[in-house]
Amino acid sequence: MEFQRYTDPWLHYSIPNFLPDDMFKEAEDTANKILDLKTQNHRSLINYEGNNKNFHSYLFDLYSIFCDKLEIPKLTMIESRVVLQYVSYNNCTDYEKHGMYLHTDSFDKQLSCLIPISDTGSGTELYDDNKNFVKKVEWKKNTAFLFANKPNHWHVVGSSIGTTRCLLNVLYMPRDYSSIHEKLYNVKRSKKV
């Protein structure tokens, strides 16, 4: 696995060919099954833990490596969990309505790994401490964008005008975490782990 390190405007990584072919195919199939990819100006959020234990184990086994790379403390296995969140922004134009505004992540997320699933899309935009735009992360299918949740890690979902932006957001967080998206959209997880 190749980690491409960046520090501008803050520490993050790009990881090409992140998921093995069979796991990426499963992610594509799952996204097509559980998301409405045809609805315009719509954001579909599903916290999905799936049935493939190998998929989940693969992601959890990377947790220590991710923490080391991002220079953050590790939680124990009992304290932490991985949640898979499939997200689609299809030709979205009303960014504020769909929560696509400049932000730092909810304090309960420890780190995120965004994996583009669709061929089309726009990468996450990164901002500095003063909320000045610095760069846009490249959108490339199965090239993960990895970053820690810190108070100065300002970012915003990239534009999806004229395109479908579908991704898998792998969230590493405390086990008792309750997603703000579940509260906002009344979404239920497929099962507890």
pLDDT of residue 189: 45
- Each residue of 45-79: pLDDT tens digit? 566 655 567 777 888 889 999 999 999 988 776 56
- CATH hierarchy code of domain 4-185: 2.60.120.330
pLDDT of residue 27: 87
pLDDT of residue 33: 80
On the question of pLDDT at 122 being above 60, the answer is yes
With a pLDDT cut of 70, the percent of the chain lying above it is 68
Question: Buried (b) or exposed (e) across 133-167, using 16+ Cβ within 10 A?
Answer: eeeebebebbbbbbbbbeeebbbbbbbbeebbbbb
How far apart (Å, rounded) are the C-alpha atoms in residues 17 and 26?
14
On the question of pLDDT at 191 being above 50, the answer is no
pTM for the model: 0.82
